[in-house]
Amino acid sequence: MAERSFAREVDDLKLGEGEIFRGEGILAITKALLQSGVGYVGGYQGSPISHLMDVLADAKGVLDDLGVHFESSASEAAAAAMLSASVMYPIRGAVTWKSTAGTNVASDALTNLASGGVMGGSLIILGEDFGEGSSIPQERSHGFAMKSQMWLLDPRPNLTSMVKAVEDGFELSEASNTPVMLQIRIRACHVHGEFVAKDNKRPAFPLKKALENPRRDVNRVVLPPASLFHDKEKLEQRWPKAVEFISSRGLNEHFGPTDGDVGIILQGGMYNGVMRSLQLLGLADVYGNSLVPLYVLNVTYPLVDDEVADFCLGKKAVIMIEEGHPEYLEQSLNTILRRRDIATKVHGKDFLSQGGDYTTTLMVDGLRSLMRTHAPRLLGNEPPTPDPKPVLENAKVKALTEVVPPRPAGFCTGCPERPIFAGMKLMEKELGQHHVSGDIGCHIFSVLPPFNIGGNTMGYGLSGAGTSAFNVKADKRPIAVMGDGGFWHNGLVTSVGNAVFNKHDGVILIVDNHYSAATGGQDILSSRAQNPTRSTNNTIAEAVKGVGVKWLRQIDRTYDVAKVRDTLKEALTTPEEGPKVIIASSECMLNKQRRVKPQFNQAVKGGKRMVRERFGVDEDVCTGDHACIRLSGCPSLSVKHTDDPLKDDPVAAIDNSCVGCGNCGEVSEAAVLCPSFYRADIIHNPTRLDRVAAKLRGLFIGFLQRRRASRQIAFAA
Amino acid sequence: MLQKSSDLTARLATEKPITVAILAMGGQGGGVLSDWIVDLAEAQGWVAQSTSVPGVAQRTGATIYYIEMLPAKDGKLPILSLMPTPGDVDVVLAAEFMEAGRAMLRGLVTPERTTLIASSHRSYAVTEKEKPGDGTGDPAVVVEATGVSAKRAIMFDMQSLAEANGSVVSSAMFGALASAEVLPFSRNAFEAAIRAGGKGVEASLRAFGAAYDKARAPADKAPNQQLPAKLLPPLPGSDPHPGLNRLLDRIRAGHPQSVQPMLFAGVKRLVDYQDIAYANEYLDRVETAYLRDAACSGANKEFAFTAEVAKYLAVAMAYDDVIRVADLKTRASRFERVRKEVGVKSDQIVYTTEYMHPRMEEVAGTLPASLGRWLEESPRLFKALDKMINKGRRVRTGTVGWFLMLNSLAGVKRFRRRTLRHAREIEHIERWLDLASKVIATDYDLAVEVVSCRRLVKGYSDTHARGHSKFDRVISQVPRLQGRPDGAAWLSRLRRAALLDEEGKALDGALQTIDSIYSDKTAA
């Protein structure tokens, strides 16, 4: 079980009719699923939708009461395939993942799902990981909707609208027999706001009933000729039904005056930013009044051609505000207008940017250009808009670029992956630099200083496959690094199995930290915790042996830097053929501390003898060369300036956040660094024996110390 | 003149939300602070919206939280933005000093609008602390930029203040925010938000209160960003110990006043390191340098040469060997310092474990010079012995056996002058000073730089060897730089480059530049 508790959030899921829900966007969506009578939920955790999974994983009681099945899927593909339950039965199902990363993985299932169509409402909640704060390539989910004919919702980023989108999405899906994707951007997932809750609903058609009364229809199977028929059905039935539903239910919204020289068409998710931009230009106010007509696409695919044409008719120009590229919506807009010979000028990316976040600043500039070109009177005297340029061009501010350091996310204090890469760096000092293929997960931080190890990543669980071309005789072997999360997601077959089958000679290093750590510490197959609702403790070692790995080394304490180094050396030099698999295993420190710290404090409070370890540096022994930091980068190991006039450079220093993981000592031992580190074992609630021993030792040592001090000559001043 | 028709604009409300950006590092409690501000505003009947882009679960990266708040009007909820607009932010809270710098670089702090509330403490980024030299960013640049960016700034060390009150930086920042009176809510309302949060309430309130008061105290215009001043007390008048007194007399009589505090520091270190005679040896060498300095019109340069020799010779003579390490690790003062540093309470017991990794090199270095050399010249024996010795040893200094071992090793001090290591160090020192005193005749500034290059030699084992090799490579440029008008500047640049990275890539680059400028490669 994840070491973090979501009990408070689970309580929010129980709110009833008329009560006010206050919290994060993604949790509002979670609640909306239950209000919509969802029958089952699956997904794969990842920013920004992890909390949906985390909260439901903790909400067994609520889900059981409602009769909702929840599952932590093995991958996005598994989650998407889960929606198969809604093909033949009127059961509402929802799945979620980080997009586009997860949508890529899920595509196989989604294509088949979309082809046959669905009976029960099928909702795919996409955490659109785009723009600032994103951890993946910058792509749009929009293309997936278009290619498979699934519908795409992009609601205005407030809780009420997002909750409504969930409810509308299920209905739209059912009305048009088509899976619906609901796209929520990072900030909208994490936005704090409120909405008026409704009672949760039991699923209208229970899973049990479906299972006990199976139905089949060969026309829903993706085999020719049915699959060819599906395509016809998509175009002739499902699409028109969807358009009819969107239009009759008014899912897209109009704001501002009906008429005007210019109009703005926007993705729902862009609404708040567009409104702020208009406000700054004097064209709107903060309460949603606008002087410019707005057509808000809460459904970005499909477009309702008649609505679009009606909005444009009689306007000199419209602008399409859609984030990311290519400009699918702008292209569609042009097609709609050309087919009807409507002469309204179309703008979009010409006034905005091709890619990246659509910030307020960017949209203010774009809308100002639009207004200057087509409706200058509306801009009036052009009140000044916020402009940081004078400050940013000041030499004193520019000078900051020289001193403000980059600060990317990195390994946490005490992270068990740090010593693995320290060991690898030490191996490289002896055997030279190697080709290192990275994966997805915390371990990819090895590419950053101070380790600077690894060059590329091809996807989750794909690091081994990423080295498959390098299966040639050479003086060096490739190294693939993979986390336990990636291993179970895809790596077991695609990387390890692939290497076994093709007799690959490389090294696969699996970092086993007992959790899917990078996504928030969720349990996976090989987690060590006893989880009452999941099967854990299925070891990675057994799994790789099962697919035929012969050369396997398990390191059960990654902090043993010398052992990591030597095991890697062995793997890189052994004459044995086939993949060399190393499993380096220690618990994620962030999660370990969450569990252990309260226990420790409790025990100390209860008067139990407890020993806490932490590290320190003798600053008069440290010469300030920082070699230790270049093999660590731990947040708790830093530098400090001293008052010693004979020391130019700051010395190493360890602060109170040290968790005593041992990396500092192991590294200085393995790399033969300076002896300035010490480990302090602090005994809380010492026993009588402890006290007596300490007393005797103190007497003896104190005597020797005093004797030596008395011989030591020193200045009085 | 373009004019909007007045009936159009009249329809628009003029209210604007209060905007707050928080810049923090993962794990600093930025989320808690953001929640408090939202709870505070909501409890006062406002609509508040917060967002963040926390990304992955790890705890070190810079991240930003953004909050907007405004009351509803006639039942209409405000439309609030999900990201800060540069030039349109009322309050910026920075949980670390360079993060305040980052806020300014992003244009979030502007003189018309922004109150900047920042903790002045530093948490160094990896790229700052991994440098072999001092890679820490200069906080004075942030102070300067604040002067031109912020409408108002409240800066003090909120981290230490929070720690002193048993809390974390977010509660101190919340206190400073209340004190700044930039949000239209009372102190009581702020405190109520902390209470409603329900976690660590008492400690948070203490830190909140302390920061509230501190932010009101007559402000030092610039936050205290001074690094600890180097401890250089003036030369004492006398010392009760006759031998030490004679050292003081020598310093007073034989050297310009400006150099005396550094000489005193050097003498103090060497008496502690070895004995009075060793300190006298040090003064002998400095005096030779001083005479040379004076002869080369050093008076015009405020005897910069002597000053550098005084400093770096003391460092060089107090080289780090196993004897010194054993000595320092076993002192009573060290035991006391450890207790203080790791925060051991009086009813707790602490033991330290030292991580030592002696190699045959260190053992040979500690042997009498001739024996040590003989061993080094017998590679097979040396290797065999190394196999026995060369491994990590965890030394529990607080136990009787280990203490006795280290204590006797510290006692080897009296034989130090006869060891192989000592012979090597002194030889290196003499070559170095010899070169400097040759160079000074033709190029005073370059000679000063030659002395300063000794800074490159530091660390233990491999790091020490690498430092030595960097020193050699930098010093090897002296012949071709001698007499050049910018020779000293070049040597200084090489030295700084050598301190930028471990492998010496920056140094390679700088050397190539020299090569391309002075194409007389023969001198290299």
Chain A residue at shortest CA distance from B277: A713
Which one of A186, A279, A391, A629 would you mutate to disrupt binding with B, by most B Cβ within 10 Å of its Cβ? Answer: A391
* Residues facing A615 on adjacent strands: A679
pLDDT at B1: 39
Cα–Cα dist B52/B38, whole Å: 13
Decide if B311 contacts B455 (C-beta within 8 A): no
pLDDT at B461: 84
Asked whether residue A324 falls in the same domain as residue A340, the answer is yes
Q: Please answer yes or no on whether B1 and A381 come within 8 Å at the CB atom.
A: yes
Look at residues B432, B407, B322, B357 and name the one whose alpha carbon lies nearest to residue A669. Answer: B357
Closest Cα in chain B, distance from residue A7 (Å): 15
Closest Cα in chain B, distance from residue A628 (Å): 8
pLDDT at A447: 95
Say if residue B2's pLDDT is above 50.
no
Say if residue B53's pLDDT is above 90.
no
| Number of domain units in chain A | 4
Asked whether residue A296 falls in the same domain as residue A377, the answer is yes
Q: Please answer yes or no on whether B124 and A638 come within 8 Å at the CB atom.
A: yes
For residue A532, give the amino acid letter.
P
For A630, A652, B127, B329, B342, the CA distances from B134, given in Å and listed in that order, are 14, 11, 11, 25, 25
pLDDT at A192: 97
B25 contacts in chain A (CB < 8 Å): 407
When pLDDT is averaged across residues A560-571 and rounded to a whole number, the result is 98
Instruction: Measure CA B224 to chain center.
Output: 15
Cα–Cα dist B261/B265, whole Å: 6
Asked if the structure places residue A706 within a domain, the reply is yes
When pLDDT is averaged across residues B312-337 and rounded to a whole number, the result is 96
pLDDT at B6: 54
Selecting from B2, B129, B239 the residue whose C-beta is nearest the C-beta of A380 gives B2
For residue A544, give the amino acid letter.
V
When pLDDT is cut at 50, 70 and 90, the band that residue B521 belongs to is very low
List CB contacts of B90: < 8 A, sequence separation 6 or more: B18, B19, B20, B113, B114, B115, B182
- pLDDT tens-place string over residues A13-34: 999 999 999 999 999 999 999 9
Half-sphere exposure of A247 (CA within 13 A, CB side): 14
Last residue of a domain, one of A200, A219, A248: A248
pLDDT at B315: 97
Q: Please answer yes or no on whether B25 and A407 come within 8 Å at the CB atom.
A: yes
Q: Reduce the DSSP state of residue A203 to 3 states and report it.
A: coil
ipTM value for the complex: 0.96
B325 contacts in chain A (CB < 8 Å): 621, 675
Q: Please answer yes or no on whether B460 and A675 come within 8 Å at the CB atom.
A: yes
Asked whether residue A344 falls in the same domain as residue A445, the answer is no
A22 contacts in chain B (CB < 8 Å): 42
pLDDT at B113: 96
Which one of A49, A98, A382, A646 would you mutate to disrupt binding with B, by most B Cβ within 10 Å of its Cβ? Answer: A646
Asked whether residue A560 falls in the same domain as residue A661, the answer is no
Six-digit token pair at B523? 């001198």
Whether the CA torsion A483, A484, A490, A491 is positive or negative: it is positive
Which one of A196, A285, A358, A689 would you mutate to disrupt binding with B, by most B Cβ within 10 Å of its Cβ? Answer: A285
When pLDDT is cut at 50, 70 and 90, the band that residue B522 belongs to is very low
- pLDDT tens-place string over residues A306-354: 999 999 999 999 999 999 999 999 999 999 999 999 999 999 999 999 9
pLDDT at B3: 46
* Residue A569 burial (10 A CB sphere; 0-12, 13-18, 19+): middle
Say if residue A1's pLDDT is above 50.
no
Asked if the structure places residue A410 within a domain, the reply is no
Strand bridging mode B47-52 / A479-483: unpaired
* Residues facing A508 on adjacent strands: A480, A581
Chain B residue at shortest CA distance from A292: B8
Closest Cα in chain A, distance from residue B59 (Å): 6
Q: Please answer yes or no on whether A701 and B110 come within 8 Å at the CB atom.
A: no
When pLDDT is cut at 50, 70 and 90, the band that residue A455 belongs to is confident
Closest Cα in chain A, distance from residue B522 (Å): 32
Q: Please answer yes or no on whether B98 and A405 come within 8 Å at the CB atom.
A: yes
Higher pLDDT, A459 or A3: A459
A700 contacts in chain B (CB < 8 Å): 400, 403
Asked whether residue A684 falls in the same domain as residue A637, the answer is yes
Look at residues B431, A416, A311 and name the one whose alpha carbon lies nearest to residue A319. Answer: A311
pLDDT at A4: 80
Q: Reduce the DSSP state of residue A607 to 3 states and report it.
A: coil
When pLDDT is cut at 50, 70 and 90, the band that residue B33 belongs to is very high
Higher pLDDT, B453 or B10: B453
Q: Please answer yes or no on whether B58 and A518 come within 8 Å at the CB atom.
A: yes
Q: Please answer yes or no on whether A623 and B352 come within 8 Å at the CB atom.
A: no
Cα–Cα dist B472/A111, whole Å: 66
pLDDT at B207: 98
Q: Is the pTM of this model over 0.80?
A: yes
Asked whether residue A618 falls in the same domain as residue A666, the answer is yes
Look at residues B34, B21, B32, B37 and name the one whose alpha carbon lies nearest to residue B81. Answer: B21
Q: Please answer yes or no on whether B407 and A280 come within 8 Å at the CB atom.
A: no
Asked whether residue A221 falls in the same domain as residue A208, the answer is yes
B348 contacts in chain A (CB < 8 Å): 682-684, 686
Least confident segment among A89-93, A404-408, B216-220: B216-220
pLDDT at A3: 73
Q: Reduce the DSSP state of residue A133 to 3 states and report it.
A: coil
Preceding amide of A302 cis, omega within 30: yes
When pLDDT is averaged across residues A620-641 and rounded to a whole number, the result is 94
When pLDDT is averaged across residues A676-688 and rounded to a whole number, the result is 97
Q: Please answer yes or no on whether B79 and A407 come within 8 Å at the CB atom.
A: no
Cα–Cα dist B175/B204, whole Å: 9
Six-digit token pair at B331? 């002192």
pLDDT at A383: 85
Chain A residue at shortest CA distance from B80: A272
B308 contacts in chain A (CB < 8 Å): none
When pLDDT is cut at 50, 70 and 90, the band that residue B224 belongs to is low
Say if residue B8's pLDDT is above 70.
no
Six-digit token pair at A621? 């022994």
Chain B residue at shortest CA distance from A387: B87
When pLDDT is cut at 50, 70 and 90, the band that residue B228 belongs to is confident
- pLDDT tens-place string over residues B109-164: 999 999 999 999 999 999 999 999 999 999 999 999 999 999 999 999 999 999 99
When pLDDT is averaged across residues B217-243 and rounded to a whole number, the result is 82
Q: Please answer yes or no on whether B502 and A360 come within 8 Å at the CB atom.
A: no
Look at residues A430, A468, A423, A429 and name the one whose alpha carbon lies nearest to residue A446. Answer: A423
* Residues facing A195 on adjacent strands: A21
Q: Please answer yes or no on whether A697 and B399 come within 8 Å at the CB atom.
A: yes
Last residue of a domain, one of A368, A389, A410: A389
Six-digit token pair at A63? 């889900």
Write down the mean pLDDT value for chain A.
Answer: 96
Strand bridging mode A40-43 / A69-70: parallel
When pLDDT is cut at 50, 70 and 90, the band that residue A222 belongs to is very high
Percent of chain A whose pLDDT exceeds 90: 95
When pLDDT is averaged across residues A123-135 and rounded to a whole number, the result is 93
Q: How many residue pairs from chains A and B have C-beta atoms closer than 8 A?
A: 451
pLDDT at B220: 58
DSSP-assigned states of every residue in A314-362:
T-SEEEEE--SSS-HHHHHHHHHHHHTT---EEESTTTS-SSS---HHH
pLDDT at A135: 87
- DSSP state for residue B391 in the 8-state scheme: S
B58 contacts in chain A (CB < 8 Å): 409-412, 442, 445, 518, 590
Say if residue B95's pLDDT is above 90.
yes
Q: Please answer yes or no on whether A287 and B328 come within 8 Å at the CB atom.
A: no
Asked whether residue A361 falls in the same domain as residue A374, the answer is yes
A677 contacts in chain B (CB < 8 Å): 354-355
Q: Which domain holds residue A281?
A: 253-389
B470 contacts in chain A (CB < 8 Å): none
* Residues facing B395 on adjacent strands: B354
What radius of gyration, in Å, describes the C-alpha atoms of chain B?
30
* Residues facing A95 on adjacent strands: A42, A124
Cα–Cα dist A655/A616, whole Å: 8
List phi, psi (to 5°) of A371. Answer: -70, -40
User: What are the helix (H) ranges across B394-504?
Assistant: 400-411, 420-439, 444-452, 461-475, 478-481, 487-498
Whether the CA torsion A645, A646, A648, A653 is positive or negative: it is negative
Six-digit token pair at A634? 């731990």
Asked whether residue A227 falls in the same domain as residue A97, the answer is yes
Preceding amide of A48 cis, omega within 30: yes
Half-sphere exposure of A473 (CA within 13 A, CB side): 1
When pLDDT is cut at 50, 70 and 90, the band that residue B520 belongs to is low
pLDDT at B221: 53
- pLDDT tens-place string over residues A523-548: 999 999 998 899 999 999 999 999 99
Q: Please answer yes or no on whether A400 and B410 come within 8 Å at the CB atom.
A: no
When pLDDT is averaged across residues A139-159 and rounded to a whole number, the result is 98
What radius of gyration, in Å, describes the C-alpha atoms of chain A?
30
B129 contacts in chain A (CB < 8 Å): 626, 629, 637-639
Higher pLDDT, B6 or A537: A537
When pLDDT is cut at 50, 70 and 90, the band that residue A717 belongs to is confident
Asked if the structure places residue A402 within a domain, the reply is no
Asked whether residue A146 falls in the same domain as residue A191, the answer is yes
Cα–Cα dist A613/A600, whole Å: 12
A394 contacts in chain B (CB < 8 Å): 145, 148-149
Say if residue B58's pLDDT is above 80.
no
Six-digit token pair at B372? 């040590």
What residue spans define the domains of chain B?
Answer: 15-216, 234-317, 322-421, 442-524
Which one of B142, B309, B342 would you mutate to disrupt binding with A, by most A Cβ within 10 Å of its Cβ? Answer: B342
pLDDT at A406: 93
Asked whether residue A702 falls in the same domain as residue A628, the answer is yes
Q: Please answer yes or no on whether A705 and B331 come within 8 Å at the CB atom.
A: yes
- Count Cβ atoms below 10 Å from residue B44 Cβ, excluding itself: 17
Write down the mean pLDDT value for chain B.
Answer: 93
Q: Please answer yes or no on whether B79 and A288 come within 8 Å at the CB atom.
A: yes
When pLDDT is cut at 50, 70 and 90, the band that residue B399 belongs to is very high
When pLDDT is averaged across residues A229-234 and rounded to a whole number, the result is 97
Asked whether residue A659 falls in the same domain as residue A689, the answer is yes
Strand bridging mode A40-43 / A93-99: parallel
pLDDT at B394: 95
Six-digit token pair at B147? 């002067």
Say if residue A37's pLDDT is above 50.
yes
Q: Please answer yes or no on whether A187 and B59 come within 8 Å at the CB atom.
A: no
CATH of B15-216, one of 1.20.120.450, 3.30.930.10, 3.40.920.10, 3.40.190.290: 3.40.920.10
Q: Please answer yes or no on whether B83 and A360 come within 8 Å at the CB atom.
A: yes
Q: In chain B, what are the helix, strand and coil shares in percent, each to the nearest 5? A: 55, 10, 35
Kind plus residue range of the DSSP H or E element containing A364: helix A360-374
Q: Please answer yes or no on whether B104 and A408 come within 8 Å at the CB atom.
A: no
